[in-house]
Structure 1
């Protein structure tokens, strides 16, 4: 299923957004991660639509061609949260169920913590609450090793060259196991001029000073034991940073790319959270 994207002008940028499902259904905001795009949800949304939900999957800043500001600081999480809120305003949604994966999960956590009036429920996939992640980085050697790639990604020019060399072999390797068609769908957009730099600027702009407060809305966190980027210490620390109803879903034998490898499990977690 391919998502049909519609440009939406917000905050001086143009974000491409895929809307689907019943127009009068409860709204679900879907936030993708690195180095993907709104299409990472295309195997998840059919179940959500069948349940009567209206979905909005956006290509976030850096991923929409009309939303690639040059300054690194323009890719701070606070800016991405403001984009998400502006998209909700643009589609006349006061409050939404929010689902995020990878960097999209980071945006979703900060959105839910800072704007609980706009978030009905939260389902975060792969990446835990930013305070839990920061705690794991500070105390767990295994998590520091898992996150060591971030230092490379933060090096302007060097990271782009490494990831795109030899027909983007390293970037393709990131998605090992997803199949050639799926891998191409993610890699080819990153080969467009400026696209990979904009996507990597999320890493270059990140700061542990932006750690979010506790999340009060009903929350589900979905993690997989085959995730090479996020270990169990960070995953299990997540619960301490949610004061609302909380559920931890641990998947066996799935890698970091949960929406691609286990879309039914993601849809089930989202629907269960919304039903509760």
Structure 2
């Protein structure tokens, strides 16, 4: 069964979801924009049933307990520190990290700077930051896919576009691949006072091409949908060159950016396989 939990940390209290025995091997699942912990429901079920202790927090800005007003409060170093604060609060000396979208960006940096804390890394949709930045500089296809980023960084522009008419813009973005009930919850959470601006402040504090990470030594699984409108093949295929540890790349045919929900069963299978292969 999935539990609703609160996680008190020095930065504030994060709400979230959890599954599995409290003494099980810890797996931290970090959601992306503009979603939340519920994007991991199927994976939480699968991990909990397999005996893992899986925890998916609503991250900084998405949770009412940690929602700073200033853009600087959403810098990458704070997002990475939150992951460690949550792991510490859960009593996890070492853990597995799984990230989608912005959650994957955090996971890549975490694996670079704090490899000693991680058993494994699973990145979903978003590639290693270095080949992504390279593609943004030199690949016309990736530049077209990332054109929306400048709009997200303009104060007030995305808020108006996405939240008008009851969140119609958000609904259109998610509707092709995300269950309607989940879309309703995302829109409701993002419609809380200050919540959507907080989520956009991740983009405003750090440009995606400014995220830095070196070679990754921990065992890594990267899952990418070949119909992802935001990430092209150049960056996805280039990720292999930035992982020095055991690496597996799974390209899902016909799947878009919203892998945890659109390909929920497949991702759960791949994740359990990856964790099972690297238990040390």
Q: Please, what TM-score do these two structures have when normalized by structure 1?
A: 0.96
Alignment of 1:1-276 (within 5 A): 3-177=2-176, 178-207=178-207, 208-276=209-277
Aligned length: 275
Q: What CA RMSD, in Å, does the superposition of the two structures yield over aligned residues?
A: 1.2
1:91 & 1:182 partners in 2: Cα distance? 26
User: How many Å apart are 1:179 and its aligned residue?
Assistant: 3.8
Q: Is the alpha carbon distance of 1:90 and 1:38 closer, same or farther for their aligned partners in structure 2, counting shifts above 3 Å?
A: same
> Distance in 1 between the 2:8 and 2:240 partners?
36
> Is the 1:47–1:267 contact (alpha carbons within 8 Å) kept by the matching residues of 2?
yes
Q: Residue 4 of structure 1: CA displacement?
A: 3.4
Distance 2:230 2:199 in 1: 17
Which portions of structure 1, spanning 4 or more consecutive aligned residues, are displaced by more than 3 angstroms?
207-210
TM-score using structure 2 length: 0.95
Task: Give how far 1:118 is off.
Answer: 0.6
Structure 2: state its 5+ residue gaps: none
For the 8 Å contact 2:130–2:212, the answer to whether it is kept is yes
Cα offsets for 1:177-221 (capped at 9, x unmatched): 234222112111111110000000000011444411111000000
Q: Report the CA distance between 1:11 and its aligned residue.
A: 2.7
Output the CA distance in 1 between the equivalents of 2:115 and 2:181: 38
Distance in 1, matches of 2:76 and 2:11, equals 17
Q: Find the residue that maps to 1:250 and give its secondary structure.
A: strand
Q: Secondary structure at the match of 1:240?
A: helix
